[in-house]
Every structure is written in structure tokens, then in C-alpha cells.
């Protein structure tokens, strides 16, 4: 297969996205579509993202679109949209897929991307294994953001269930470029996250909504994690949530600064580096297929 960048046929629909090539990939089962729009000036609208996600061949949890660099020295600006068309500031699994797509045909194994969450370096360790520097976590209540002040975001006042015997309570709150609430539990499989997740994602405490995670610490270097992803729902894996879970665990002195985070789709190695406070995420990617967007998708959405 040749490089992803290439000439594009003209669209015969109102959308400029018809007939454009896309890559369908996944990171530990986290469904990703990569769309290279460098040199076009095109921005994908929310309704267009929903149309792409609605097709069985291009279904995604996150859509990663590459655009011309905004900062000198970077390789691309990456926009991220969730399945419902809402924007996301970060997607660790998606960034590894972007790195794989962008490094095809290149001799070097390092790239620097820019996102709404900041600059994210990516390094290729092998054909299918990548490390992404997700940057430093944001821990202050107004940076996450939360709707009201909390002096210590290791524990925030939020619970599900009766006040005297809550089912879940006092999660940690963290931003990895997107907001996360991490509940530490003794058994992550014992809860109906498909019911709890949507109740908490849009809680008034989270003005930008939040990813909701259940974290079970199995050892000082091992966390089991389940995630309800903002704008996407239950997911096989969420890289930024894995980063948030490790940071939260370290802040509560439950783990060391380097741990394997096991998600339903597989394992990620997460390290909260002490020197600069950056969080490094290492994991695999999988290529599924290359396809072409059908103009009829966007005609139907417009109608």
C-alpha cells in the first residue's frame, strides 16, 4: 500500500468530503478513522462526522483529521471529533493511529503533532507499536474544568446512589486535554457502566461533559480500567483515560509512576514521568482497511 497522501477526486455532493480516502484503524479496539485533509482547508462539520460514523465501513469512536501545521516545526494539526460530532481535545489511541498513518513512507520514526491539548510527540517503536507523549495532566479544578471549586481534585464530591450508602463516590478529576472522572473500586466489573456512564457524563459538575472511568488497582504496577467515553459511550479502550487513571492512582499513592493499564481491548503501558510531569502512553495500533467516503452519506445528512 502506498502513502496515504494523494490526489483526491472531486465530490459530486454538497460536502467536499465525498470520494476522499480514509483509513479505518483501531487502538486496542478503540475504533478510529483517520482522514488526511492537509492542503485542502476543509474542516469536518459535526453533521458530516455523524454521517461518516453512521456508515458500517467507517464507523468510529473518534475521527482524527490531519490539517496543515499551525506551529513551525510540527508535522500536522490534528482535530478530533467524537462519534456524535462533538469535539475532543485528546485521544491517545487515535494519536497512535495518526502516527502510523503519517509515518508511512518516512524513514524517521518520530513526529510532532499539534492538537487542542497542545504539542504531542509520537515515536515509532516497531511497525505496530507507538509511544505518544500526552503532555502534563491538568489538575486544578478550573483547568479540568469543573463547575465549582475543589481545593483537592484527588477527591471530588460526586456520588451515585443513596447519600448514606452510595454505589460510587468521590472520584478523582483530571484533564488529559479532555475531562476525566476516575472512580477507584474493588471490582470494576461489578457495575453497570452502560447505565452509570451517561448519567455522569453530562452531570452539571462537568460543563464540558466528562469521560467516566472505573479503576481497579490490582497491583502497584497494574490497573484494570473500564471507560464510558464522552461523546462515544462504552469503549474497548481509551488512551487518555488510561493516562488519567494512572495519574489519579499515583496522586492517591495507590501505584508507582509506571503501570500496565488493562482495558477490555488490551494493555497500555503508561508512565507519569517524574522529570517533566509528562504522561507517556505506549501501545499498539491495527490497520483494518482503506476506503473511500461515499458522497451519498452527506447528501442524506443534508436532507
Instruction: Name the maximum alpha-carbon separation found in the chain.
Output: 62
Strand partners, 216: 224
278/92 Cα distance (integer angstroms): 13
Residue 145: partners with Cβ closer than 8 Å, 6 or more residues away: 175, 179, 207, 208
- Specify the DSSP class assigned to residue 153: T
Q: What value does the CA radius of gyration of the chain take, rounded to a whole number of Å?
A: 19
Catalytic residue among 33, 49, 176, 238: 238
Q: Which of 242, 257, 177 is nearest to 28 (CA)?
A: 242
Closest to 199 (Cα-Cα) out of 188, 210, 187: 210
For 265-268, the CB contacts below 8 A with 24+ separation are 265/26, 265/27, 265/28, 265/29, 265/30, 265/236, 265/237, 266/28, 266/29, 266/237, 267/28, 268/28, 268/92, 268/237, 268/239, 268/242
Compute the distance between CA of residue 10 and CA of residue 12 in angstroms, rounded to an integer.
7
Q: Does the active-site annotation cover 91?
A: yes
Catalytic residue among 34, 66, 90, 91: 91
Residue 73: count of CB within 10 angstroms of its CB: 8
What secondary structure letter does DSSP report for 37?
A: -
Q: Specify the length of the chain in residues.
A: 303
Active site residue 243: no
Q: Which residue numbers are catalytic?
A: 91, 238
Amino acid at each position: 500500500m502506498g502513502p496515504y497522501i494523494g490526489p483526491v477526486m472531486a465530490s459530486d455532493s454538497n460536502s467536499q468530503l465525498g470520494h476522499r480516502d480514509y483509513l479505518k484503524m483501531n487502538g486496542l479496539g478503540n475504533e478510529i478513522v483517520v482522514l488526511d485533509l492537509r492542503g485542502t482547508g476543509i474542516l469536518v462539520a459535526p453533521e458530516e462526522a455523524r454521517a461518516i460514523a453512521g456508515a458500517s465501513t467507517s464507523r468510529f469512536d473518534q475521527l482524527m483529521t490531519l490539517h496543515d501545521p499551525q506551529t513551525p516545526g510540527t508535522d500536522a494539526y490534528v482535530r478530533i471529533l467524537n462519534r456524535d460530532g462533538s469535539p475532543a481535545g485528546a485521544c491517545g489511541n487515535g494519536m497512535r493511529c495518526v502516527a502510523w498513518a503519517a509515518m508511512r513512507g518516512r524513514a524517521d520514526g518520530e513526529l510532532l503533532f499539534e492538537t487542542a491539548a497542545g504539542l504531542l510527540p509520537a515515536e515509532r517503536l516497531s511497525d505496530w507499536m507507538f509511544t505518544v507523549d500526552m503532555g502534563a495532566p491538568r489538575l486544578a479544578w478550573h483547568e479540568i474544568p469543573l463547575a465549582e471549586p475543589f481545593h483537592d481534585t484527588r477527591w471530588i464530591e460526586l456520588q451515585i446512589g443513596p447519600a448514606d450508602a452510595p454505589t460510587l463516590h468521590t472520584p478523582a478529576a483530571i484533564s488529559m486535554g479532555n475531562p476525566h472522572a476516575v472512580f477507584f473500586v474493588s471490582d470494576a466489573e461489578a457495575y453497570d457502566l452502560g447505565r452509570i456512564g451517561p448519567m455522569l457524563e453530562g452531570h452539571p459538575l462537568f460543563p464540558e461533559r466528562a469521560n467516566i472511568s472505573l479503576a481497579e488497582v490490582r497491583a502497584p504496577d497494574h490497573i484494570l480500567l473500564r471507560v464510558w467515553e464522552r461523546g462515544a459511550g462504552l469503549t474497548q479502550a481509551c488512551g487518555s483515560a488510561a493516562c488519567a487513571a494512572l495519574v489519579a492512582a499515583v496522586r492517591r499513592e495507590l501505584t508507582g509512576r509506571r503501570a500496565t493499564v488493562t482495558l477490555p481491548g488490551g494493555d497500555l503501558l503508561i508512565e507519569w514521568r517524574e522529570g517533566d510531569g509528562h504522561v507517556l502512553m505506549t501501545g499498539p495500533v491495527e490497520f483494518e482497511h482503506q476506503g473511500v467516503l461515499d458522497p451519498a452519506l452527506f447528501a442524506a445528512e443534508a436532507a
